[in-house]
Amino acid sequence: MPRIPDRQRIAQDIRDKISSGEYGPGFKLPSLREMSAQYGVSAEPVRSALLILQAEGLVEGHQGKGVYVSGNLPSAD
């Protein structure tokens, strides 16, 4: 079975937490350092995962303030 890249694994985990409601609209995600420790990776795969989620409209980055779950999430219909 092929190994899933860390950035995709992390992005999927955050997607799952958003869809389950664990991370609701406006929720501030843990810091880059905290997520790196949580997932056991360097900062780069976490950064890449967040960029993927930003492109999908699921999270919004605010310079110097952090990354938040978007207030207007795409519907799951």
Res 2: pLDDT: 81
Per-residue b/e over 33-43, b at no fewer than 16 CB within 10 Å? eebbeebebee
Res 77: pLDDT: 44
Instruction: Please tell me the distance from the alpha carbon of residue 62 to that of residue 52, in angstroms, as a whole number.
Output: 16
Domain boundaries, the chain: 6-69
Q: What is the pLDDT along the chain (77 residues), one digit of tens a residue?
A: 788 999 999 999 999 999 999 999 999 999 999 999 999 999 999 999 999 999 999 999 998 999 999 987 655 54
pTM for the full predicted model:
0.88
Closest CA to 69 of 20, 31, 14, 32: 14
Q: Which CATH class is domain 6-69?
A: mainly alpha
Give one word for 42, left, alpha or beta, with left for phi > 0 and alpha for psi -120 to 50: beta
The residue assigned the tokens 């664990």 is: 22
